[in-house]
Structure 1
Amino acid sequence: MKLPGHDAIARQADEHLLSRRVKLPTKVVDRPFLQVGKRLALALLVLVATAFIVYADHDGYNDTSDGGVDLLDAFYYATVTLSTTGYGDITPVSDAARLTNIFVITPLRVLFLIILVGTTLEVLTERTREEWRQNRWRSALRDHTIVVGFGTKGRSAIQTVCVTGLKAEQVVVVDPSVKAIDAATAEGFAGVIGDATRSEVLRRAEVQRARQIIIATQRDDTAVLVTLTARQLNKGAKIVAAVREEENAPLLKQSGADSVITSASAAGRLLGLSVLSPAAGMVMEDLIQQGTGLDLVERPAVKAEVGKSPRETADLVVSVVRGHRVLGYDDPAVGTIQPTDRLITIVRASPGAQVAPDIRPLPRA
């Protein structure tokens, strides 16, 4: 069943005719059309220069039709000569004209061919190289992170997961906007242009081999459809989705999301907390900004902490993750820390330092 807004997004992707494209990070170079335009302009310049060289010595040429060579005949001769057609109806007859053909026009002919053939070869080489890069990228892509939507939420999510040491090569951005994908590739991420509610688009992002999927779309109904599609293609990936309205969070859970962040409600609660206590609001904002000040992280319990209560650890433990339950530090059910527990702690962030692979920052609102 299609939800409202799905057809509009699908039409947008079709209009761009880019839903089948994968863009990998590349060095900033001229656009292909600009490169071809420059080469054509240079070829025309060579053609015009050759024509005027011939016209400057038009008395040294013979036209079999009327004997004389005017400006039009000079351009005609330059065209058939540079293109190596050579009909023979206009020929150099004087020694000066023949020397000019040997030492000037022949090098210009070679230059003209290099420009045209070079453009063709460069286009073919670039296409082959891009296909080879994409095939190599696909074969090497494993356990990566897919981010659907490269808006404010998507960018912030990528910044957070990259703090853990995740490389840019392991992040794939999916977005129907060409500008958004261009921005993503400029930052070093691979991009897939298209509507993520379509299975074929997510398959181009290798969703079946992804470890985690972050859904940060602009619309809640789109987030639901993307979650359903992603869960169908990958049963084991961790899916985290953001919604604007809290009433849509249960629907995201039913669709297969492991965690749902309500952005509007979270922002509203932070605003309310800041009104009641500006200092408390500052602390909360500090906690949700990864890599600065204080950070919330999830880590495994170490051997020295096993058998102790959460309050007896060196770090400030706020919750204990035991199985599928998240228990507060003061919950009687916690008792003492067990070897399989994971601890949610508040730690002092070290600017520029990467978090250990087994320590995970908590999802942000």
Structure 2
Amino acid sequence: MADKPRPVRLQRHQPLRRRLTLPVWADAFLRLSAALGLVFLVVLIHWSDREGLIDNHDGVISFSDVVYFTMISITTTGFGDIAPVSDRARMIEAVIVTPIRFAVIFIFVGTAYNFIIKRSWEKFRMARIQERLTDHVVVLGFGVSGAEAVGELIARGTRPDCIVVMDTNEDRLTLAADMGCNVINADATRDESLQDVRIGEAATVLVSAGRDDTSILMVLTVRHLAPNVPITVVVRAPDNELLARQAGATNVINPVRFTGLLLAGSASGMHTADYLADLASISGRVQLIEREARPDDVGRPLRDLGSGVLGLRLYRDGNAFGYWEPEAESVKAGDTVVIVRPTPDVGPGVT
């Protein structure tokens, strides 16, 4: 009897983050500047109308008295030692200073809300999102390949808030957060880090650590925690492709090999490489799509699925068959088909 996978306990190791609209220091600086600007404005108003004020202590209104009166007036302390006595001074207090007083109070209350209540709520909300993550895309490593992959996913319609990027480089995480993704600064070779992003509930995992040995170790760790989650990994040495598959990778991509194929294709024809790049990108005129066979596909030959698409390959019971092979003469329910279709903008109505 096969051993059952041991249950994974979710631990709180690192919280998810999202991009803030303004950095904390910038937000604090703007609020403080606005408050000080309003206070300075009230000081100028009181100084210009100092003849309407009375000092019950010595009868003289100096500049320091104006500053003092402004502060106790804005903070609603009101000791009564300095007070407005003329009609004009009282009107200024009622019409001009009182609204400014409320504005200053609101700035400070808003600051307390933003830095204490709002940010605490945001952390709580992100923790709740983290606990309920499911069918999300986990990207381990956000170098050049990872960033390109995330950009392409978003262009293809994946919501950025359904993407979780894990890396240890804060600069790279900032780029990912600017794209709208959830980010986490953690080591993707550790069990607790992957548990934090609910790796077992992910729809797929993309691994691109920049080093083959690190990428393969990440694949081993992910497969250990998530036996059924599809894993795609980037490796650069041909010898490591087999190791990556043995570690549990579902798909292994070798960018060096793919670049060589493009170069070879361009040598035999000037348009081959261009068309391959067109197939791979959502911005091209055609798209290479993998999907489950639909009811209207069943019974039809792969080469003629209708709807303006071209069937190239089908997968059945773990085996791949080209459109020219006998097995592809009739698509069956449960098959996975690889098709080429025009980009929706180019070929409307094509599915």
Question: What's the TM-score bracket when you normalise by the shorter of the two chains?
Answer: 0.7 to 0.9
2: CA distance, partners of 1:160 / 1:342: 26
Corresponding position: 1:350 with 2:343: yes
Q: 1:335 to 1:112 in 2, by over 3 A?
A: closer
* 1:57-72 to 2 correspondences below 5 Å: 57-58=49-50, 60-62=53-55, 64=57, 68-72=60-64
Q: 1:280 to 1:48 in 2, by over 3 A?
A: closer
Aligned to 1:321: 315
| SS of residue paired to 2:299 | helix
Q: Could you state the TM-score of these two structures normalised by the residue count of structure 2?
A: 0.75
The amino acid that maps onto 1:233 is L
Q: 1:98 to 1:234 in 2, by over 3 A?
A: same
Q: 1:345 to 1:82 in 2, by over 3 A?
A: closer
Could you tell which deviates more after superposition, 200-209 or 291-300?
A: 291-300
* 1:1-365 to 2 correspondences below 5 Å: 20-24=14-18, 29-58=21-50, 60-62=53-55, 64=57, 68-86=60-78, 90-92=81-83, 94-95=85-86, 99=90, 102-103=93-94, 104-131=96-123, 133-138=125-130, 140-158=132-150, 166-290=158-282, 292-300=284-292, 302-305=297-300, 318-328=312-322, 339=332, 342=335, 344-352=337-345
Contact 1:296 1:345 in 2 (8 A): yes
Q: CA deviation at 1:182?
A: 4.2
Q: CA deviation at 1:232?
A: 2.7
2: CA distance, partners of 1:231 / 1:126: 38
1: CA distance, partners of 2:24 / 2:61: 39
| SS of residue paired to 1:222 | helix
Q: 1:37 to 1:354 in 2, by over 3 A?
A: farther
1: CA distance, partners of 2:85 / 2:132: 66
Could you tell which deviates more after superposition, 53-62 or 221-230?
A: 53-62
The amino acid that maps onto 1:321 is Y
Deviations 1:250-291 (A, max 9, x none): 332233212211111211222123123334333433333346
Contact 2:310 2:341 in 1 (8 A): no
Q: CA deviation at 1:37?
A: 1.9
Contact 1:163 1:355 in 2 (8 A): no
**Matched positions, count:** 330
Q: CA deviation at 1:236?
A: 1.5
Q: Which has the higher contact order (CA 8 A, sep 6+)?
A: 1
Q: 1:323 to 1:25 in 2, by over 3 A?
A: farther
2: CA distance, partners of 1:203 / 1:234: 10
Q: CA deviation at 1:120?
A: 1.3
Deviations 1:148-185 (A, max 9, x none): 23444234434655687644443323333445444444
Q: CA deviation at 1:239?
A: 0.6
Contact 1:300 1:343 in 2 (8 A): yes
Q: CA deviation at 1:238?
A: 0.7
Aligned to 1:8: none
Query: Which structure 1 residue ranges, 5 or more long, are not aligned?
Result: 1-18, 357-365
Considering only aligned residues, what root-mean-square deviation do their CA atoms show, in Å?
3.8
| SS of residue paired to 1:304 | coil
Contact 2:299 2:331 in 1 (8 A): no
Q: CA deviation at 1:130?
A: 1.8
2: CA distance, partners of 1:269 / 1:339: 32
| SS of residue paired to 2:343 | coil
Q: 1:111 to 1:313 in 2, by over 3 A?
A: closer
| SS of residue paired to 2:249 | coil
| SS of residue paired to 1:46 | helix
